[in-house]
């Protein structure tokens, strides 16, 4: 299981994470990404790596 957090202060709304891992990430009306807080989807690790501004924090729980 992974705990996922998006830092809305730094997210630039590029949408990468929503393409890499659409079951977990979505873009909100304010243009920031939102993540399901707990998931088994391994793509969160790729999304974390590929975020251009390092706004995604994934912790194994
Ligand atoms: S990849 Fe990073 S900057 Fe882009 S929308 Fe997702 S969290 Fe925001």
For residue range 4-25, list pLDDT tens digits in order: 999 999 999 999 999 999 999 9
Question: For residue 27, what pLDDT is reported?
Answer: 98
- The atom number, within ligand 1, closest to the CA of 35 reads 7
Give, in order, the Cα–Cα distances in Å from 45 to each of 10, 21, 36, 38, 56.
18, 9, 14, 13, 9
Q: Separation of 11 CA from ligand 1 center, angstroms?
A: 5
Measuring from atom 8 of ligand 1, which residue has the nearest CA? 11
Range of the domain at 47: 2-60
| Reported pTM | 0.95
- Number of domain units in the chain: 1
CATH number of the domain residue 11 falls in: 3.30.70.20
Tell me if 51 CB under 6 Å of ligand 1: yes
* Residue 56 pLDDT level (bands cut at 50, 70, 90): very high
Residue 52 and residue 12 in contact, taking contact as beta carbons nearer than 8 Å: yes
């Amino acid at each position: 299981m992974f705990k996922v957090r998006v830092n809305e202060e730094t997210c630039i709304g590029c949408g990468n994470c929503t393409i890499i891992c659409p079951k977990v990430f979505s873009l909100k009306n304010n243009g920031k990404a939102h993540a399901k807080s707990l998931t088994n989807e391994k793509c969160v690790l790729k999304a974390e790596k590929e975020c251009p501004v390092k706004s995604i924090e994934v912790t194994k729980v």
